[in-house]
Amino acid sequence: MTASESASAAVKPVVRARRIRFSYPAGSLQRHFVGGDLVMSHVVAHLSAQFPEGEDFFVRSVRRFADQITDPELTSRVQGFIGQEVTHGREHRALNERLHQMGYPTRRIDRFTHHDFKRLERLLPPLTWLAVTAAFEHYTAVLAETLLSDERAQALLGSTEVRSMLLWHAIEESEHRSVAFDVYRSVGGTETRRIWTMRIIRLTFTASVMFFSALSLLGDRATYNPVRLFRSVAALRHSPLLTRTVVRRIRAYTKPGFHPDDTDNTALLAHWTATLFGEHGSLADHLH
Q: What is the mean pLDDT of the chain?
A: 94
pLDDT above 90: residue 61:
yes
Q: Of 25-29, 127-131, 182-186, which range is least confident?
A: 25-29
CA terminus-to-terminus distance, the chain: 43
Whether 25 shows a pLDDT value over 90: the answer reads: no
CA distance to 33, 115, 201, 236, 286, per residue, from 161 (Å): 10, 30, 30, 24, 11
pTM attached to this predicted model: 0.93
Whether the per-residue pLDDT at 107 is higher than 50: the answer is yes
Question: What are the φ/ψ torsions at residue 105 (nearest 5 degrees)?
Answer: -80, 50
Mean per-residue pLDDT, 117-146: 97
Q: Counting beta carbons within 10 angstroms of the beta carbon of residue 67, is it exposed (0 to 12), middle (13 to 18) or buried (19 or more)?
A: exposed
**Whether residue 27 has pLDDT greater than 90:** no
Taking 90 as the threshold, does the pLDDT of residue 176 lie above it?
A: yes
Decide if pLDDT at 47 tops 50.
yes
- Cross-strand bridge partners of residue 287: 20
Q: CA 164, 110, 240: angle at the middle one, nearest 5?
A: 45
- pLDDT at position 28 is 81
Buried residues in 75-114 as b, exposed as e (16+ CB within 10 A): eebbbbbbbbbebbbebbbebbebbbebebbbeebbebbe
pLDDT at 90: 97
